[in-house]
């Protein structure tokens, strides 16, 4: 029963996504990183081919992909630019709470338009004073007449400057802790949404990141996703889905760094022979190979479990923590193998190393993943 | 219009090629197969012609091994309607391939209005099959095509010739057109296209079904081998003036005796 082969269709999806990635994303990755701009032309092309919003079910116009299908696409895109892939994945991250906890009307109203034209979405959880401790958010939803009023600040929001739709987490009462957290959906142009300036970042420069401020934003009651007080559960379920996706982005980045390093080590000669013939470099390459393969297997397993309808929290956190950490390690080693050239922006591994760092931080730091893992382990005793 | 596209499956351009032990072909076990890149222009052109002529169908035909049907599935995912595979070894010679393609097209029961192919395959680079096929089917053919215009039953085709010049041909359908890079930009297969492809028909014929026998073989491969590795170049230090005369003499001597180019 155990089978490590992808199906013919999955192989085709991966190959086509990789072809798109190498032909369309790779040649522009450095340029958009430098300009710190979102490459909308590339995004629209990817959307036209159906590589976007992979979480939308067929009944709402989506492609009906499995989680495993979607991690294959994510890996292929991240192979050429983890930054662009962040913006692409942010759409899924924002739409997933609606897919998981939304009503039929909400799904029809908010998901289907994303399949009809190219649109951008933002997932708004993190705040200036609430990062890893996500339950401590201070943004409030206060009931007033037939609606709610939303007030507060959000930070590090991907796609914020261009979003057509925001999924916002807030609390109806900070005293309630987890059980006060509530998710709601807002559309572009709602009065009282203030969008900050683009953040200047170390990497992922081709994805837009900003702060958001909500000043008495009117939220109709039908915009609450999954009911008042259900936000925390919804966020956790969303992360079970999105962690394999983010982890696969790290695998794509690590694979790219490894491929570049392996090729370079076979070309570059020092002491009369290629770097790849020196044992010190061979050990580095072997370790890089082991790490990438391990990470990919974990990601595929985390996605597969979800597709089988099985609980994947532990394995998804294994995958996220491990893939992010090895992406950073492999990228660092790739720069080391390139030596001085690796430190130069003229060569591709410098950008991969900058981009890799963020994956250890966003969507649950590696340390938070380990807390999740420990909780899962201890609860089994 | 009934449009046929002949495609070949070739090793990915990044494949490391290893000759078989007996020298009859290359090792195919670990090869990643792709559609011959020139054939992608042919598939794209077929889809453009289909879009411009309501009610048209595009059938892709391939002669080769069955193990991997990458090329046909790619064409179907791009938008072709159905496909035919003539099961055969992957290293048939050009004559047998052309004859098998002719047999498959005829056996399909549809009379072609247009047959498109890549101008050559990037593995053996023979550049023969489209012309052989046209000859066998008694159809006109134009190769190395970089421009395609249709006016009713007449095609105006631009053909690239040596030195970058362009020849312009007017050809009546049906005909065989062998496509070159620059003719169009092949589309990517979309996700829905990939999903739909698996439900599209794949007809399989044997070589016998399409009238090809062992006697049709014109070419026998006997020794596949990698080109010999080039020895590193030689350097001569001619900075010192008094040494220049002797170095010139030495270089000319080596060009004559070792490199044997003069």
Cα of A15 to nearest chain B Cα, Å? 10
Q: Do A19 and B191 touch (CB under 8 A)?
A: no
End residue of a domain, out of A204, A229, A254: A229
| B191–A51 C-beta distance less than 8 A | yes
Residue B157 has pLDDT above 80, yes or no: yes
Structural domain of residue A211, as residue ranges?
121-229
Q: Is B227 exposed, middle or buried (0-12, 13-18, 19+ CB in 10 A)?
A: exposed
Does residue A151 share a domain with residue A105? no
**Which residues have CB under 8 Å from B130's CB, separation 6+?**
B6, B115, B117, B119, B141, B143, B176, B177, B178
For residue A225, the domain's CATH number is: 2.40.110.10
**Chain A residues closer than 8 Å to B192 by CB:** 50, 63
Rounded CA-CA distance A304/A286 in Å is: 27
Q: Which residues pair with A187 in a beta bridge?
A: A165
Domain contains A190: yes
Same domain, A192 and A105: no
- A369 inside domain: yes
pLDDT at residue A219 in the model: 97
- CA distance to A29, A278, A282, per residue, from A342 (Å): 17, 18, 18
Segment 39-68 of chain A within 8 Å of chain B by CB: 48-51, 63, 65
Whether residue A374 is found in the same domain as residue A238: yes
Instruction: Judge if A29 and A159 occupy the same domain.
Output: no
From the list B91, B86, B116, B115, the residue with the least C-alpha distance to B103 is B86
Whether residue A3 is contained in a domain is answered as no
Same domain, A327 and A224: no
**Which residues of chain B lie closer than 8 angstroms to A13, CB-CB?**
191, 194
A252 is a domain residue: yes
The verdict on A13 and A43 lying in the same domain is yes
Residues in chain B closer than 8 A to A9 (CB atoms): 194-195, 198
Interface touch A12/B194, C-beta < 8 Å? yes
Pick B195's closest partner by Cβ from A19, A20, A63.
A63
Judge whether residue B66 has pLDDT over 80: no
| Tokens, residue B234 | 């030689």
Q: Does B142 touch chain A (CB under 8 A)?
A: no
A270 shares a domain with A175: no
Are A20 and B188 an interchain contact pair (Cβ–Cβ within 8 Å)? yes
Q: Which of A178, A200, A229 is the last residue of a domain?
A: A229
Residue B121 has pLDDT above 80, yes or no: yes
Neighbouring C-alpha atoms within 13 Å toward the C-beta of A104: 1
Inside any domain, residue A80: yes
pLDDT at B259 over 90: no
Two tokens at A57?
């079910």
Same domain, A107 and A190: no
Q: Which of residues 192-221 of B touch A (CB under 8 A)?
A: 192, 194-195, 197-198
The residues facing A171 across adjacent strands are A140, A181
Structure tokens at B241: 């003036």
Closest by Cβ to B194, choosing from A9, A20, A48: A9
Q: Any chain B CB within 8 A of the CB of A12?
A: yes
pLDDT tops 90 at residue B21: no
Instruction: With CB atoms and an 8 Å threshold, state whether A9 touches B198.
Output: yes
Q: How far is A262 from chain B (nearest CA, A)?
A: 14
What is the least distance, in Å, from the CA of A22 to any CA of chain B? 12
Q: Which of B79, B194, B202 to mutate to test the interface with A (most CBs of A within 10 A)?
A: B194
Q: Is the peptide bond before A147 cis (omega within 30 degrees of 0)?
A: no
A363 is catalytic: yes
pLDDT per residue of chain A (381 residues) written in tens, 0 to 9: 788 999 989 999 999 999 999 999 999 999 999 999 999 999 999 999 999 999 999 999 998 899 999 999 999 999 999 999 999 999 999 999 999 999 999 999 999 999 999 999 999 999 999 999 999 999 999 999 999 999 999 999 999 999 999 999 999 999 999 999 999 999 999 999 999 999 999 999 999 999 999 999 999 999 999 999 999 999 999 998 999 999 999 999 999 999 999 999 999 999 999 999 999 999 999 999 999 999 999 999 999 999 999 999 999 999 999 999 999 999 999 999 999 999 999 999 999 999 999 999 999 999 999 999 999 999 989
Surface of B (62-81) touching A: CB under 8 A: 73-74, 77
Q: What's the DSSP call for residue A57?
A: -
Q: Which region among A297-306, B96-105, B142-151, B217-226 has the lowest average model confidence (pLDDT)?
A: B217-226
Q: Does A229 touch chain B (CB under 8 A)?
A: no
Question: Does residue A178 sit within a domain?
Answer: yes
Mapped onto helix, strand or coil, the DSSP state of residue A146 is: coil
- The answer to whether residues A256 and A360 belong to one domain is yes
Please indicate, yes or no, whether residues A258 and A371 belong to a single structural domain of this protein. yes
Chain A CB contacts of B190 under 8 Å are 48-50
Alpha-carbon torsion, ordered A214, A217, A222, A228, to 10 deg: 50
Statement: residue B254 has pLDDT above 80:
yes
ipTM at complex level: 0.85
Residue A2 lies in a domain: no
Neighbours of B247 (CB within 10 A): 13
Cβ proximity of B71 and B141 under 8 Å: no
Q: Quote the pLDDT of residue A352.
A: 98
User: What's residue B239's pLDDT?
Assistant: 82
Question: Which residues of chain B neighbour A49 with C-beta distances below 8 Å?
Answer: 188-191
| Phi, psi (rounded to 5 degrees) for B53 | -130, 95
Contact residues on chain A for B77, CB-CB shorter than 8 A: 12, 16
For residue B69, what pLDDT is reported? 83
Among residues A75, A127, A350, A363, which one is catalytic? A363
State which fold the B2-216 domain adopts: Rossmann fold (3.40.50)
Q: What is the mean pLDDT of residues B104-123?
A: 96
B189 touches chain A (CB under 8 A): yes
Nearest CA in chain A to B67: A8
Determine whether the interchain pair B77/A16 forms a contact, defined as Cβ–Cβ distance below 8 Å.
Answer: yes
Nearest CA in chain A to B191: A50
| Distance between CA atoms of residues A295 and A321, nearest Å | 9
- Quick check: A187 contacting B, CB < 8 Å? no
Residues A20 and A73 in one domain: yes
**Domain spans in chain B, listed from the N-terminal domain onward:** 2-216, 230-262
With 80 as the cut, is the pLDDT of residue B67 above it?
no
**pLDDT above 90 (res B30):** no
- What is the model's pLDDT at position A267? 96
B206 has pLDDT over 90? yes
A116–chain B Cβ distance below 8 A for any pair = no
Q: Which pLDDT does position B97 carry in this prediction?
A: 97
Nearest chain A Cα distance for residue B6, angstroms:
21
Q: With CB atoms and an 8 Å threshold, state whether A16 touches B192.
A: no
Same domain? A154 vs A108: no
**Whether residue B260 has pLDDT greater than 90:** no
The answer, yes or no, to whether residue B68 has pLDDT greater than 80, is no
Confidence label for B70 from pLDDT (cuts 50, 70 and 90): confident
């Amino acid at each position: 029963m155990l089978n490590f082969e992808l199906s013919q269709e999955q192989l085709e999806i991966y190959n086509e996504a990789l072809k798109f990635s190498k032909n369309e994303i790779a040649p522009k990755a450095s340029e958009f990183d430098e300009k710190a701009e979102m490459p909308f032309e590339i995004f629209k092309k990817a959307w036209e081919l159906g590589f976007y919003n992979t979480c939308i079910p067929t009944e709402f116009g989506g492609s009906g992909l499995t989680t495993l299908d979607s991690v294959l696409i994510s890996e292929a895109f991240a192979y050429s630019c983890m930054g662009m892939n962040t913006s692409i994945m942010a759409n899924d991250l924002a739409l997933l709470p609606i897919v998981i906890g939304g009503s039929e009307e909400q799904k029809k109203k908010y998901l289907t338009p994303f399949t009809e034209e190219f649109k951008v979405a933002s997932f708004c959880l993190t705040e200036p004073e609430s990062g890893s401790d996500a339950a401590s958010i201070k943004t409030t939803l206060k009931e007033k007449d037939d609606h709610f009023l939303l007030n507060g600040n959000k930070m590090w929001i991907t796609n914020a400057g261009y979003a057509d739709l925001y999924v916002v987490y807030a609390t109806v009462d900070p005293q309630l802790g987890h059980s006060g957290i509530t998710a709601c959906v807002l559309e572009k142009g709602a009065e009282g949404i203030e969008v900050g300036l683009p953040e200047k970042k170390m990497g992922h420069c081709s994805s837009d990141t900003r702060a958001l401020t909500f000043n008495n934003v009117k939220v109709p009651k039908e915009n609450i996703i999954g009911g008042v007080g259900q936000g925390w559960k919804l966020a956790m379920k969303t992360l079970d889905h999105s962690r394999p996706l983010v982890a696969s982005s790290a695998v794509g980045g690590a694979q790219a760094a490894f491929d570049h390093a392996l090729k370079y080590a076979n070309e570059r000669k020092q002491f009369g022979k290629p770097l790849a013939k020196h044992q010190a470099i061979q050990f580095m390459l072997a370790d890089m190979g082991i790490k990438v393969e391990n990470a990919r297997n974990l990601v595929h397993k985390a996605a597969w479990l979800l597709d089988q309808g099985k609980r994947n929290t532990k394995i998804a956190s294994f995958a996220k923590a491990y893939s992010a950490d090895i992406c950073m390690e492999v990228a660092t080693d790739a720069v080391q193998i390139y030596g001085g050239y690796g430190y130069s922006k003229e060569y591709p591994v410098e950008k991969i190393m900058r981009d890799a760092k963020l994956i250890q931080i966003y969507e649950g730091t590696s340390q938070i993943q380990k807390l999740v893992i420990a909780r899962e382990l201890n609860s089994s005793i | 219009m009934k449009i046929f596209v002949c495609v070949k499956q070739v090793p990915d351009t990044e494949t490391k090629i290893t000759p078989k032990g007996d020298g009859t072909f290359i090792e195919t076990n670990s090869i990643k197969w792709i559609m011959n890149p020139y054939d992608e222009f042919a598939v794209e052109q077929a889809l453009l012609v289909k879009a411009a002529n309501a009610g048209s169908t595009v059938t892709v035909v391939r002669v080769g091994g069955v193990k991997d049907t990458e090329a046909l599935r790619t064409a179907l995912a791009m938008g072709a309607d159905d496909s035919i595979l003539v099961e055969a070894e992957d290293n048939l010679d050009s004559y047998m391939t052309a004859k098998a393609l002719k047999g498959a097209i005829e056996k399909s029961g549809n009379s072609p209005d247009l047959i498109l192919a890549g101008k050559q395959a990037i593995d053996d680079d023979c550049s023969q099959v489209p012309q052989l096929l046209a000859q066998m089917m008694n159809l006109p053919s134009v190769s190395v095509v970089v421009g395609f215009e249709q006016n009713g039953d007449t095609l105006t085709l631009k053909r690239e010739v040596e030195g970058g010049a362009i020849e312009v041909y007017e050809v009546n359908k049906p005909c065989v057109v062998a496509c070159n890079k620059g003719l169009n930009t092949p589309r990517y297969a979309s996700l829905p296209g990939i999903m739909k492809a698996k439900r599209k028909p794949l007809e399989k014929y044997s070589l016998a079904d399409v009238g090809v026998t062992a006697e049709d073989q014109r070419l026998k491969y006997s020794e596949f081998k990698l080109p010999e590795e080039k020895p590193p170049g030689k350097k001569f230090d001619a900075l010192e003036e008094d040494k220049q005369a002797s170095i010139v003499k030495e270089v000319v001597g080596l060009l004559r005796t070792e490199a044997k180019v003069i």
